[in-house]
Chains A and B, each alone.
Chain A
Amino acid sequence: MRRIVQFAFILFLFSSCNQEVEKAPVKEKKKFEMYKYSEMAALMRQMYSINEALKIRIESGEDLGTFPTEFEQILNAEMTKKQKRDDFFEKHSSLFLESQRKIYANPKDAKALYNESINSCVECHRTKCPGPIEKIKHLELK
């Protein structure tokens, strides 16, 4: 009988100590707010890729093809939140389109015209959005 009482007592000790190990509160993870590409940001990346391919064609002397008309969306694509389509941007986006058309219209001078066009990107970004300047500089033809 005593042994049963001892056993029951020990069992009680173990079970009561299990109740003390409550589930620790799980720290809630932060909900991060990531940027979603605007029409303009997506267009900028598309223009980067097209110029990257154009650089290779100029370097290897391949046919340049025709001016990519989708670049004209720069005139009306929706800007990133808080970014302004001001006079400076309007002027420089038109100059950029013109500089790109010149490359395709004058394949013999493509290298110089291409670098001029890339420089115009850098100059505009220096004022409007300096973040991608280093990336854009990778496009320059040496």
Chain B
Amino acid sequence: MSKIQTMKFIYLFSLMFIALSSCNSKPIEKTEEVEKRTYADFGEKFSEKDPLTALQMLAVYDKLKAGDTVNAKFTGTIFGVCQKKGCWMQVDLDDDYAAHITFKDYDFFVPMNAMESVAIVKGRAFVTETSVLELKHIAEDEGSTQAEIDKISEPEFTLGFIADGVLIEE
């Protein structure tokens, strides 16, 4: 191969490399767009940035005594929603614990089919005792059988949360 042929080969090879590498970047950008979550907002609007994880929130609850309150923003998966109105929901903190979320001044509700969606909530966290009557009401809303409802005889200590606003993944 002569010097001129070698130069032409390098020139062509460089052009091919530039052409192929410049088009490779576009599909990656598209993928990032698809993965970005979008949220529907309920109640007060707020930024989705930097919420505590569910486990971090559980650690916050662990330090609270009944009657204490603390402002917080955290994210987790919804595993229960009031099936009459969407006037409360429960968000998983780990396999054993969940936060019971109600909405400030009963002024807004969440979708009744939001189960298993990722949510971000902002408001006040507290620990409270839930009476037997209220536990029965929750069980009724969840569609429990009468036998299951009748079994409820002890109050429960609940990880409560009054949300000013809620974001739910669409």
Q: Which residues of A contact B (CB under 8 A)?
A: 6, 9-10, 13-14, 17-18, 20-21, 23-27, 29-30, 32-35, 41, 80-83, 126-132, 134-135, 138
Contact = CB atoms under 8 A, between A and B. Distances in A.
Interface string B61-104: 00000000000000000000011111110000000000000100
Nearest to B32: A24
A34 B131 CA distance: 28
15 contacts: A9-B12, A14-B23, A17-B19, A24-B31, A24-B33, A26-B34, A30-B113, A30-B117, A33-B112, A35-B87, A82-B84, A126-B131, A131-B82, A134-B105, A135-B105
Interface residues of B, number: 41
Contacts of A24: 30-31, 33-34
Interface of B: 12, 15-16, 19-20, 23-24, 26-27, 30-31, 33-34, 38, 40, 82-88, 102, 105-107, 109, 111-114, 117, 131, 133-134, 137, 141, 162, 168-170
A33 B19 contact: no
Contact of B170 (A17, A30, A129): A30
Given A24-B31, A131-B88, A32 B40 contact: yes
B83 A82 contact: yes
A132 B102 CA distance: 10
Contacts of A18: 23
B113 A21 contact: no
B111 A130 contact: no
Contacts of B162: 134
Nearest to B137: A130
B19 A14 contact: yes
A23 B162 CA distance: 42
A131 B87 CA distance: 7
Given A29-B170, A83-B84, A35 B38 contact: no
B84 A81 contact: yes
Nearest to A6: B12
A34 B84 contact: no
B30 A35 contact: no
Contacts of A26: 34
A44 to B, nearest CB: 10
A10 B15 contact: yes
Contacts of A6: 12, 15
A61 B20 CA distance: 82
Nearest to B170: A29
The 9 closest A-B CB pairs, nearest first, are A17-B23, A32-B111, A29-B170, A131-B87, A132-B106, A13-B19, A35-B85, A24-B30, A135-B106
